[in-house]
Amino acid sequence: MPVQDSAATGILAFGGTQTNYDRQMERIRKRLILVALAMSATLLIGTVGFVLIDDYPPFDAFYMTLITVLTVGYGEILPLSFWGRVFNSGLLLVGVTVILLATGFLTQTIIELELNQFFGKRKNKQMIDKLKGHYILCGYGRVGRGAAAELTAAGAPFVVIDNAEERVERAMHAGLLAVVGDASRDETLRDVGIARAKGLIATLGTDADNLFVTMTAKSLNPLLQISARVAEETTEPKMRRAGASFVFAPYVSTGHRMAQALLKPHVLQFLDYTLQEGAAAEAGIEQIRIEPGSAFSQRTIGEVSISKGKDVVVLAVRRSSGKMIYNPADEEKLAGGDYLIVMGEPSGLDLLEKMLGEGA
């Protein structure tokens, strides 16, 4: 399978890359710790100094140190000796310096955060504007995060939309392109390039939201492939009528899989082995399209020699009409628009895809 450019795989970290973000947060954490240590050390030294030099009670010594460092100007709590005033003068200079440095550190941190947020959003917009043939993931909840992980593993370009800022920040911290917005609004979908998108995944919290997103997206891009989540089975036909290409009911699917785990454990294990993330290191299932006008159009599977020497098994042929032919014979003739469903080692799948691509 082709390797995607990382700039097009939906990867964006807050302020550049995830590593840069972590480094920035580490710098901010160190600054705050340094400010806290400097303030604590100043208060401790002042308190101990007043106790030792002029026999101040501990709390009075702390209070005297605090009003001195903050330059409140309340005056001496108790009379100070000559050396007490010398010490207080030095404490005043040190305290003011620490306060100024702390204020500078905090101001610098706030400005950096604001600038990084501004430039991060600007870079976010620029990267989205460059996307083409990408996917739009609406919702970054539990189901949405699972879809994002699969898209990332496949190297597919995508952008996340969610109306909750904390979930968008979580997506960005995970290194994803993400924007805050209402996915059911035309403006939001246009901003993420729906006219150039290949597909949309609707994983919002309610069936009504997913239905409205599906209708809106389909009106903006009639050729868009849409995969939608539903909670109620009765919503499925409505979702398909609205334009969803694929509809999934997670609770129903989970129930089926739980039963299959007991009834057909080996079948389920085989499917998990070939489809779950990480399994592709040894074997995987892919779909490869026969382009119209390809040199392999109107030739049989045997003539193409698809599996010979490539460690690939042809599981099925999906016709452009939607008909599925399982375990096709070597005499089965291919046509433009057909999809080959094949299984094999990554090297064999890559070789087959390259061969069919060169024949187009």
188-244 residue pLDDT tens: 999 999 999 999 999 998 999 999 999 999 999 999 999 999 988 888 899 999 999
Are the beta carbons of 301 and 330 closer than 8 angstroms? yes
Average pLDDT in the chain? 81
Average pLDDT over residues 272-301: 72
Are the beta carbons of 65 and 44 closer than 8 angstroms? no
- Confidence tier at 24 by pLDDT (50, 70, 90): low
Residues 200/201/205/207 CA torsion (nearest 10 deg): 80
- The CATH superfamily holding the domain 131-254 is NAD(P)-binding Rossmann-like Domain (3.40.50.720)
pLDDT of residue 21: 57
At 125-155, the pLDDT tens digits run 778 888 899 999 999 998 899 999 989 988 8
Fold of 25-119: Helix Hairpins (1.10.287)
Whether residue 7 has pLDDT greater than 80:
no
What are the percentages of helix, strand and coil residues in the chain, rounded to 5? 55, 15, 30
Comma-separated ranges of CATH 3.40.50.720 domains in the chain: 131-254
Average pLDDT over residues 317-328: 87
Comma-separated ranges of CATH 1.10.287.70 domains in the chain: 25-119
Whether residue 20 has pLDDT greater than 60:
no
Instruction: Please give the model's pTM, rounded to 2 decimal places.
Output: 0.58
- The rounded percent of the chain whose pLDDT value lies above 90 is 25
Whether residue 285 has pLDDT greater than 90:
no
Comma-separated ranges of CATH 3.30.70.1450 domains in the chain: 281-358
Q: How far is CA 181 from CA 120, 133, 140, 161, in A?
A: 16, 21, 12, 6
* Other residues' Cβ atoms within 10 Å of the Cβ of residue 239: 24
Longest dimension (CA), the chain: 108
Provide CATH code, domain 281-358: 3.30.70.1450
